[in-house]
Amino acid sequence: MENYDAIVAGAGIWGCTVARRLAEAGKRVLVLERREEAGGNVRCETDAETGIEVHTYGSHIFHTHIPEVWRFVNRFTEFNGYQHKVLARYRGKTYFLPLGLALVNGFFGTDLTPPELAGFMADENHSKALFDAFFRGYTSKQWGRPPEEIDPAVIKRVPVRSSYDINYFNDMWQGIPANGYNALFEALLDHPSITMRRGVEFRLDGGRGMAGGDMLPPARIYYSGPVDALFGCKFGHLPWRTLRFERETLSVADYQGTAVVNYTEAEVPYTRIHEFKHYHPERRETMALGKTVVMREYPAAWKPGDEPYYPVDCAESRGLLSRYMEEASKVPGLTVGGRLGAYRYFDMDRSVEAALAVDVEWSDWRGSDPRPQH
């Protein structure tokens, strides 16, 4: 087998960014991906019937305030400037998220101004009513537990503002790749020093990498799969939440008027409905089409074999993660990262930021083990 300087296991956004940086630093890189295509859970597909680009694993919107990240991704794609709006359905009515003047005034039938909002929300009855309506049921569905048992940081991720700004994200730069996410990943991996093998599982055997049944030549390893799986889950499985999707093509031009609508009541089994044509308003032919593609998203308990989506932060998982990271620290030349490897929820820009911080400027070490990378 050909020799490589680095092996990147997992071709999601962290892995593809690391692979590109390694290649541009003069390294020969082998990228291994267990699926048939790169992109991880950001992978998209074009619906054969409508031509609408569907986010296969749920909606992904690129947004960032980090200049280095924005400059990097713009080397490989243009963005369409899409601004994300999220609506919420509660008891038959539709409201604007995030939590701000539009939601508060719409829900309570008030006409508050920005200086009045903080005092209004200081009333525990008001804050509890909003929490019960828009977060209690949604959170319990998402995590399979009462919201009181959830790390408060999860709920604090919901944007809060004292204005009528209904853009869900307040980052300076936002959008969807104009040619789709798949084109972004193809561009990242389009380098003569990058070789990709698809449909192969990566594992460790005595500190050496294995691709399927083949032993790989010695190389630095950059791994972004589940960190427990890297060590055969010998301490037990890290807990995750998973998702199930139901996709449907409808004979209407516009089903819900926006890309994402949250369904906040616990009695509604799904958390949200995605309508993908809204991510590309510049594609006039699909916007004008008398059909649309929607997808209902159902959170579910994870079991081995399911796709892991969201790490479950609890005392048990923190203890397990510590043990697996200690094992990783013993493997020379191993770097573990990405959402699955780090066992952390990352927005896409944070995954790119972490990948940009990885050391790729090391010297060739042919004939000996690479120095540790942790």
The predicted-structure confidence for 20-75, as pLDDT tens digits, reads as follows: 999 999 999 999 999 999 999 999 999 999 999 999 999 999 999 999 999 999 99
Could you tell me if residue 209 is inside a domain?
yes
Q: What is the pLDDT of residue 363?
A: 81
Specify the pTM.
0.92
Q: Which amino acid is at 317?
A: S
pLDDT, tens only, 241-295: 999 999 999 999 999 999 999 999 999 999 999 999 999 999 999 999 999 999 9
Percent pLDDT > 90 in the chain is: 83
Active site (catalytic) residues: 157, 161, 241, 272, 297, 345, 347
Q: Which of 166, 196, 225 is the last residue of a domain?
A: 166
DSSP state of 41: G
Long-range Cβ contacts of 56-59 (<8 Å, 24+ apart): 57/243, 57/245, 57/307, 57/309, 58/243, 58/245, 58/274, 58/295, 58/297, 59/259, 59/260, 59/274, 59/276, 59/279
Residues 90 and 161 in one domain: yes
Residues 161 and 217 in one domain: no
Residues 147 and 183 in one domain: no
Q: What is the pLDDT of residue 365?
A: 52
Q: What is the pLDDT of residue 151?
A: 59
- CATH of residue 196: 3.40.50.720
Residues 105 and 156 in one domain: yes
Residues 213 and 329 in one domain: yes
Q: What residue numbers bound the domain in which 156 lies? A: 86-166
**In terms of Cα–Cα distance, which of 309, 371, 320, 286 is closest to 5?**
371
Could you tell me if residue 365 is inside a domain?
no
Percent pLDDT > 70 in the chain is: 94
Could you tell me if residue 54 is inside a domain?
no
Residue 362 or 187, more confident: 187
**In terms of Cα–Cα distance, which of 121, 163, 119, 154 is closest to 136?**
154
Residues 19 and 156 in one domain: no
Residues 217 and 337 in one domain: yes
Residues 224 and 327 in one domain: yes
State the average pLDDT over residues 145-168: 73
Average pLDDT of the chain is 92
Q: What is the pLDDT of residue 296?
A: 98
Residues 182 and 133 in one domain: no
Residues 336 and 205 in one domain: yes
Could you tell me if residue 188 is inside a domain?
yes
Could you tell me if residue 151 is inside a domain?
yes
Q: What is the pLDDT of residue 145?
A: 81
Name, in order, each residue with C-beta under 8 angstroms of 249's C-beta and a sequence gap of 6 or more. 47, 49, 50, 291, 292, 293
pLDDT, tens only, 168-186: 999 999 999 999 999 999 9
Q: What is the pLDDT of residue 370?
A: 46
Residues 161 and 198 in one domain: no
Could you tell me if residue 281 is inside a domain?
no
Q: Which residue has the tokens 């490589």?
A: 4
pLDDT, tens only, 334-374: 999 999 999 999 999 999 999 999 999 988 654 444 444 44
Q: Which amino acid is at 230?
A: L
Q: What is the pLDDT of residue 205?
A: 86
pLDDT, tens only, 86-103: 999 999 999 999 899 999
Residue 255 or 151, more confident: 255
Q: What is the pLDDT of residue 2?
A: 82
Residues 222 and 315 in one domain: yes
Q: Which residue has the tokens 């929820």?
A: 345
Could you tell me if residue 23 is inside a domain?
yes
The rounded distance, in Å, linking the Cα atoms of 80 and 255 is 22
Q: What is the pLDDT of residue 368?
A: 44
What does the block give as tokens for 202? 């990566």
Domain count within the chain: 2
Could you tell me if residue 260 is inside a domain?
no
